């Protein structure tokens, strides 16, 4: 690649890295309202005798989005499930090769499969503006949007990891 294309490519990777960092940081803020809604369910049900199902549905929605983005955050932080017990003894070059191989052979195909497989379900749910099954409260379609979001973020992180992998230092 010529120098100009290489620097443009690196700037694009840096932008993608910042986008994923901001997205995962923003999603981490969902944990506070999620915890609040979960704690409010019993008082709402037993004290007010109202709104507990709405609190539960909203908590499910927030939890689904939190987990969808949390997978990418865990991968970025190097805390995702990895065979670190063995790999920490590997030389950095071998660990980098393993990360690239896993991105190409596992993470990218999985992300593409999940994204494509989820599209018909999400399309139908969006067309109906699907509500929650038990309560018919609106918004269940947003929870289903979390599936392709998770796959998209995981795929972007895998692509980023091909050129900018996070190889943990030996401990």
Q: What was the pLDDT predicted at 171?
A: 36
Give the long-range contacts of residues 154-157, CB within 8 A, separation 24 or more: 154/71, 154/72, 154/75, 154/107, 154/110, 154/111, 154/114, 155/107, 155/108, 155/111, 155/112, 155/115, 156/16, 156/20, 156/72, 157/20, 157/72, 157/75, 157/76, 157/107
- The pTM of this model reads 0.84
Q: Which residue has the tokens 């929870």?
A: 143
Q: How many CA atoms lie within 13 A of 6 on its CB side?
A: 3
Confidence class of residue 165 from pLDDT cuts 50, 70 and 90? low
Question: 104 to each of 14, 149, 161, how far by Cα in Å?
Answer: 20, 19, 10
Whether residue 166 is predicted with pLDDT greater than 60 in this model: the reply is no
Q: What was the pLDDT predicted at 1?
A: 62
Q: What was the pLDDT predicted at 84?
A: 66
Whether residue 103 is predicted with pLDDT greater than 70 in this model: the reply is yes
For the chain, domain boundaries:
3-80+90-163
Question: 18 to each of 14, 21, 24, 76, 156, how far by Cα in Å?
Answer: 6, 5, 10, 12, 12
Q: Which two tokens stand for residue 113?
A: 């499969």
- Higher per-residue confidence, 38 vs 113: 113
Q: What was the pLDDT predicted at 48?
A: 83
pLDDT in tens, 62-99: 999 999 999 899 888 877 666 666 777 888 888 888 88
Q: What was the pLDDT predicted at 167?
A: 45
Confidence class of residue 4 from pLDDT cuts 50, 70 and 90? confident
pLDDT in tens, 6-57: 788 888 889 999 999 999 999 989 999 999 998 988 888 888 888 888 889 9
């Amino acid at each position: 690649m010529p120098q100009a294309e290489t620097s443009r490519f690196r700037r694009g990777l840096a932008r993608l890295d910042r986008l994923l960092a901001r997205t995962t940081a923003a999603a981490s803020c969902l944990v506070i309202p999620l915890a609040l809604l979960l704690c409010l369910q019993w008082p709402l049900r037993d004290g007010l005798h109202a709104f507990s199902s709405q609190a539960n549905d909203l908590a499910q929605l927030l939890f689904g989005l939190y987990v969808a983005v949390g997978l990418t955050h865990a991968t970025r932080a190097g805390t995702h499930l990895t065979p670190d017990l063995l790999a920490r003894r590997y030389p950095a070059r071998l660990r980098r090769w393993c990360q690239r191989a896993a991105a190409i052979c596992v993470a990218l195909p999985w992300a593409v499969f999940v994204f494509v497989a989820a599209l018909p379900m999400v399309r139908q749910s969006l067309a109906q503006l699907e509500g929650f099954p038990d309560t018919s409260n609106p918004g269940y379609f947003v929870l289903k949007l979390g599936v392709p979001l998770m796959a998209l973020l995981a795929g972007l992180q895998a692509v980023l990891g091909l050129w900018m992998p996070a190889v943990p230092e030996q401990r």
